[in-house]
Chain A
Amino acid sequence: MSRRRTIALFRRVAQEIRRDRPSIALLFIAPIVITGLVTFILREGQTPQVDAVIVNMAATPGSVYTSALTTALEAEGATVTTAPDVVTAESMVADHTATVVIVLPAGLGQRGAPTITVITNGMDPSGEGSQVAAASKALVSVASSITGITPPTIVHETVYGTPSSDPITNFAPALVAFFAYFFVYILTGVSFLRERTGGTLERLMATPVTRGEIVGGYTLGFGVFAMIQVALIMTWVLGTIRVPSIGPIPEFSVGLGISVAGNPLLAYVVVILAAMGAVSLGIFLSTFARTELQVIQFIPIVIVPQFLLSGVLFPVATLPELLQPLSFVMPLSYAVDGLRQVFIRGADLSVTALQVDLLVLTGFAILFAVVASRTIRRDVA
């Protein structure tokens, strides 16, 4: 393997990326905008307004419940009205003048546990969960005030880190890993496809260059930009820079200020290893594409399953049993877990789980590099 040729390839790839402004924007600006947007949505998302309608079918005992329920719901910021029957209440939900119906049954106050029905619109299952939760919380409060039994206070503690009410804490490591992987894959795939279709790979293969030198040069070229990208994302995700007020602009802070329990450099190593694998994956998949659009078309096949099965959105343990083994063969799973180990658990190199993540990511990077180099053949150039 010639160091001179590998460095020449690296320099050429770097020069091309440097002059490709849309690619630079994709690498450096897109992850910051997207992580910023996700954080803003999760942190500042609005709690849905609860507009409850109570249908009392239990006459006098129900009146006591209605009154207590109204007080409990209004204390949580809900509006409360009543309706004479279920049909009327449902029509109110249908025309959006109410969001939830609480039906107090005829047998309320008699022996045995009553069944209280909560009715929602049904068009927005995730949003309606908060309506049902608000109704349940108010009903528990009513039950405790009527029976005189104070419900227990629940205290949440964690084995690793400290419990955080910041919803982005768990997502941040996964997002950092995903964006580094995703954008590096797209850029390498498209770049190498141009090499194949533009006739330059044909010409390159007519020189004494080896496959290893090509993969090495590309990995170095994209690796350098991936390192800058990851450094930038990490600074953005972990940092908090306060900008003092200037004239009419009030003081504000730049950076998501997410806390990291471990060494950020270790997190950096995890992401770089994942990005190295993405370079070779891009080279490999460009073999099967004829146009740049086709490289994009691989995203639903190669990237989206990793996004769904690698613990970015759903914990691997909650996946159906049939799908769980798939997460073990996806590099992103190890990148996401590795980053969570460092961010949340504060793991260092003595932690076995992190060692496994780093080893597997290194293995994937080497495996993909070998597979990618096999696709660069003189007779398919």
Chain B
Amino acid sequence: MPTDAMSPGGGAPAIRAVGLAKRFGLIRAVDDVTFDLVSGRIYGLLGPNGSGKTTLIRLLAGLTHATAGHAEVLGATMPSRTTLERIGYMTQSDGVYPALSVEENARFFASMYGVSADGAVEESLALVELADRRRSLTGTLSGGQRRRLSLACAVIHRPPVLFLDEPTVGVDPLLRVQFWSYFRSLADGGATIVVSSHVMDEADRCDELLFVRAGKIIARGSSRELRDRAGTTDLEQAFLRFAGDAEAAR
């Protein structure tokens, strides 16, 4: 069963899901999910493709309406347009404009979030090491560079809540390390980060993991806690054990 986590100071959680559900016809993409996520931590949504991770993130980010239940971010029930100013969202696809230059993309998203472009653009591009490619057309960048730009656009407004949907897909190992190091620095600064992944070896970088299967959270805890509870040394084995238990409990 998922456990509730309160913020360290005992305040309201940064993200809250209450009986959250989303159906597409007969398919339960997200099925009665309840949890609280506190600020200053990185949460990993782990599960196979099609388990409901992206739909869950979209529900939390207010990009789709829940069939039942509700999501709260920073105290506001989603979807809330004003809260979107304080949320960063990196989609699974790059979600950047190939016909625009790197800088034009960054400036555009800065304008969408209503932040003053110059400083924010400068800082974000430096952060993802694309400052020297600022004038390059995005369509001419490599896959990894586009992913970096996508991240820069997601954090350009320094959001306290960040949803990252498979941010490291197609990213080379060195860049992946840089990404995680950056996520950690954001969390240390008080941001709440939710990262979805189907790569188990990234799980150790998260403070807490939520195993997702068939739209449900089947287990929650740190990587070590989950392995200990499952009685395995391997996180993938732990996932399979919890999945088996969930199946048996049906």
Contacts and interface: CB of A to CB of B under 8 A. Distances in A.
Interface of A: 2, 4-5, 7-8, 11-12, 15-16, 19-20, 198-200, 202-210, 378-379, 381
B215 interface: no
Chain B interface mostly = loop
Interface of B: 61-65, 79, 81-82, 84-85, 87, 89, 91-100, 104, 107-109, 111-114, 137, 153-154
Max chain A Cβ within 10 angstroms of own Cβ: one of B61, B92, B108, B154: B108
28 contacts: A5-B111, A5-B112, A8-B108, A15-B104, A16-B100, A19-B137, A20-B99, A198-B95, A198-B98, A202-B91, A202-B93, A203-B89, A203-B95, A203-B96, A204-B112, A205-B63, A206-B62, A206-B87, A206-B89, A207-B84, A208-B82, A208-B85, A208-B112, A208-B114, A378-B63, A379-B63, A379-B79, A381-B63
Nearest to A12: B108
A273 to B, nearest CB: 28
Given A210-B81, A378-B64, A381-B63, A8 B95 contact: no
B112 A378 contact: no
Contact of A209 (B63, B98, B107, B112): B112
Contact of A199 (B84, B95, B109): B95
B79 A378 contact: yes
Contacts of B99: 15-16, 19-20
Given A199-B92, A207-B84, 11 more contacts: A2-B114, A12-B100, A12-B104, A198-B95, A199-B91, A199-B93, A200-B96, A206-B62, A207-B112, A378-B64, A378-B79
Max chain A Cβ within 10 angstroms of own Cβ: one of B94, B98, B111: B111
B77 to A, nearest CB: 14
Contact of B97 (A7, A16, A206): A16
A199 B96 CA distance: 8
Given A207-B109, A207-B113, A200 B64 contact: no
A200 B97 contact: yes
Contacts of B114: 2, 4-5, 208
A373 B89 CA distance: 22
Nearest to A18: B99
Contacts of B93: 198-199, 202
A15 B114 CA distance: 20
Contacts of B109: 203, 207
A21 B95 CA distance: 22
A80 to B, nearest CB: 65
